[in-house]
């Protein structure tokens, strides 16, 4: 296999999936009508309901859905071999991923921008609203634990990263000012802010700046509590402060413009890596297996003396592969962004396919590129053993930075810039999601507890509670287990979103097999994955350090609760599905 052939397979998946299948669903089933006023226009409040240019919204959507899942997920999934991971990325996106993203937007638009909580009350049952809101809250908490550890511990503690990231955030605020207050042309705004963002990343690579950051980080032996070092504690706090502002400020002021600028940082990285691969066109290394073994045991695939604890058996390919690649093929997080965020900013219904479907297919391509950073970006120069050594050191995100810098070196970008750029790329991918996660946690807690505990209706209080719980998971959780639990909860959320869409389609007399079948597959797969991982987490508590005990026992209990909640929702939905209603057209 050659890397270029892999890219061509990815392009074909996009061409056929988006150009044929998605357009057919859009035209024949959903039938967008641009004469209808969207919620963004009907309820424009300048906070959540704000009509946005389709290109700006595409950038916002992509950066709001694409985090570490399509990057770290494929890299970890290479444990089972590159072939199973590649197949799931492309086939999963083709039949499930874009379906959920696009249909969630259309559901939100057609139902006046209502949240999933409100929709579940009407479409499923009164108790479904309460169950779904608690499900969403705890699921989002797992996202914060999984992403927060990578960003606060591994990425921001790298002296070459923080200044670039903080400057990109400031430049994103400038982009919002230029767009919404100064009413400047979007092309000029994009050009100015993106150039400034790259200058900011370059400033972060200067030796004087890195020396200052190294001094701030202090000695790696200095711990605050347990095994948490000062640098990890400090930068995770900085991350949580950034998330606070992203959760409480209006969308147009913080999340949308910062995500838009970050989109260009990410997109140009994808483009640079792709062009570098086309020029380089490396073959897959002979020692990099297409399939390792059913349990993803790297120690059975190569010599890993001394590192068995971190690279031993992952677990069965089914169901764990399908939740390890947490966003590259399907993600429940996307449904929340699409229904409660993007649907409230869509200017016209015909933009939904371009924004929702298009962004998901671009994320699929990012997942393919991420897979190649491991297989050829690292594999060609360091071999399969090099990949294993990076994973053993806990540097799953580092695999991407190393691989991307190797790819971009073939278009003349020095590794001295490419490595920090890859790390900033990763940080922005995660951070621009995390403050939206906290925002949704705050909204979910207000909707669920606001009537009984009015304090949760206070924006600041709800946000601080979400951040405090996130800090607990970041500082006390064991990342490998948290990641799998997050992936399982994430895909289970996706199945529940598809379930709501299916019920909505049926109630409106529209064909629904194109959402029902994906729901059934993801529902069974993710419940099994969550139960399997929860058992592993709870059965190995005795071997964990004291400071990791609390986070892991909470994670295991939450996983069991999510399964129970999903089963109850599934039962209520089954009864709702059988209720008399509009005649459904069941052809796919």
- How many residues would you count in the chain? 588
Nearest CA among 451, 427, 317, 554 for reference residue 63: 427
Token pair for 41:
């226009």
Distance, CA of 405 to CA of 381 (rounded, Å): 12
Q: Which two tokens stand for residue 419?
A: 């490595």
Closest CA to 378 of 350, 345, 400: 400
- The dihedrals phi and psi of 283, each to the nearest 5 degrees, come to -80, 155
DSSP 110-124: HTTT--HHHHHHHHT
Instruction: Tell me the mean pLDDT per 10 residues along the chain, length 588.
Output: 93 96 97 93 82 88 85 91 96 96 96 88 89 89 88 90 95 92 90 95 93 91 84 95 93 86 90 94 93 85 58 82 87 90 93 96 94 92 86 78 92 92 91 90 89 91 96 81 82 92 94 96 93 83 68 83 92 88 44
Q: Which phi and psi (to 5°) does residue 454 adopt?
A: -55, -25
pLDDT tens figures, 468-508:
999 988 888 777 677 778 888 889 999 999 999 999 999 99
Closest CA to 74 of 319, 401, 322, 297: 322
Query: For the segment 231-274, what is each residue's pLDDT rounded down to a tens digit?
Result: 999 999 999 999 999 999 988 888 889 988 998 998 899 999 99
Nearest alpha carbon to residue 319 among 147, 480, 492: 492
- For residues 277 and 3, is the Cβ–Cβ distance under 8 A? yes
Q: Which of 369, 355, 361, 329 is nearest to 18 (CA)?
A: 361
Would you list the domain boundaries of the chain? 3-146+280-578
pLDDT score, position 303: 67
Bridge partners, residue 346, by sequence: 52
Residue 185 Cα to chain centre, angstroms = 30
CB 461 within 8 A of CB 535: no
Q: What count of other Cβ atoms lies within 10 Å of the Cβ of residue 20? A: 10
Name the pTM for this structure: 0.87
Q: Which two tokens stand for residue 436?
A: 């939206």
Residue 479 · residue 459 · CB < 8 Å: no
User: Counting Cβ atoms within 10 Å, is residue 416 exposed (0-12), middle (13-18) or buried (19+)?
Assistant: exposed
Residue 315 tokens read as 């677990």
> What is the SS3 assignment for 346?
strand
Structure tokens at 15: 């061409």
């Amino acid at each position: 296999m050659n890397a270029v052939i892999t890219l061509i397979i990815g392009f074909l998946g996009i061409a056929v999936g988006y150009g044929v299948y998605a357009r057919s669903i859009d035209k024949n089933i959903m039938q967008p009508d641009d004469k209808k006023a969207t919620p963004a226009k009907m309820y424009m409040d300048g906070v959540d309901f704000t009509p946005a240019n389709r290109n700006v919204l595409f950038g916002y959507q992509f950066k709001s859905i694409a985090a570490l899942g399509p990057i770290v997920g494929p890299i970890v999934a290479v444990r089972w071999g590159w072939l199973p991971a590649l197949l799931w990325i492309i086939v999963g996106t083709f039949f499930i991923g874009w379906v959920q993203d696009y249909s969630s937007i259309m559901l939100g638009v057609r139902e006046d921008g209502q949240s999933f909580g409100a929709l579940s009350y009407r479409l499923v049952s009164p108790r479904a609203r309460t169950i779904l809101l608690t499900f969403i809250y705890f699921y989002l908490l797992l996202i914060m634990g999984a992403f927060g550890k990578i960003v606060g511990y591994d990425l921001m503690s790298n002296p070459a990263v923080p200044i670039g990231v903080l400057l990109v955030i400031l430049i994103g605020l400038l982009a919002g000012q230029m767009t919404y207050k100064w009413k400047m042309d979007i092309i000029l705004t994009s050009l100015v802010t993106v150039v400034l963002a790259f200058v900011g990343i370059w400033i972060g690579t200067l030796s004087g700046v890195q020396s200052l950051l190294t001094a701030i980080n202090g000695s790696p032996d200095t711990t605050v509590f347990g095994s948490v070092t000062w640098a990890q504690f400090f930068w995770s706090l900085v991350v949580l402060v950034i998330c606070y502002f992203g959760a409480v400020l209006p969308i147009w002021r913080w999340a949308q413009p910062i995500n838009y600028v970050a989109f260009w940082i990410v997109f140009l990285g994808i483009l640079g890596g792709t062009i570098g691969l086309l020029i380089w066109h490396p073959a897959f290394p002979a020692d990099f297996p297409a399939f390792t073994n059913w349990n993803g045991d790297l120690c059975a695939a190569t010599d890993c003396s001394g590192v068995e604890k971190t690279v031993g058996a992952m677990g069965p390919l089914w169901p764990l592969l399908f939740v390890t690649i947490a966003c590259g093929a399907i993600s429940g997080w996307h449904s929340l962004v699409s229904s409660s965020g993007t649907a409230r900013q869509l200017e016209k219904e015909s933009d939904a396919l371009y924004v929702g479907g298009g962004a998901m297919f671009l994320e699929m391509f990012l997942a393919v590129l991420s897979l190649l950073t491991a297989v050829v970006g690292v594999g060609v120069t360091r071999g399969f053993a090099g990949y294993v050594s990076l994973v053993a050191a806990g540097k799953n995100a580092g695999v991407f930075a190393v691989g991307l810098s190797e790819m971009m070196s073939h278009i003349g970008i020095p590794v001295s810039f490419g490595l920090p750029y890859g790390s900033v790329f990763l940080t922005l991918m995660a951070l621009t999601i995390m403050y939206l996660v906290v925002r949704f946690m705050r909204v979910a807690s207000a909707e669920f507890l606001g009537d009984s505990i009015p304090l949760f209706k206070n924006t600041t209080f709800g946000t601080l509670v979400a951040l405090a719980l996130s800090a607990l998971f970041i500082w006390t959780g064991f990342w490998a287990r948290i990641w799998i639990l997050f992936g399982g909860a994430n895909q289970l959320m996706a199945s529940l979103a598809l379930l709501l869409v299916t019920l909505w389609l049926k109630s409106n007399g529209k064909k629904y097999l194109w959402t029902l079948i994906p729901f059934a597959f993801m529902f069974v797969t993710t419940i099994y994955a969550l139960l399997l991982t929860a058992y592993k987490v709870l059965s190995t508590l005795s071997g964990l350090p004291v400071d990791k005990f609390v986070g892991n026992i909470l994670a295991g209990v939450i996983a069991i609760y999510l399964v129970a909640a999903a089963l109850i929702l599934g039962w209520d939905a089954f009864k709702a599905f059988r209720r008399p209603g509009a005649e459904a057209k069941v052809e796919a």
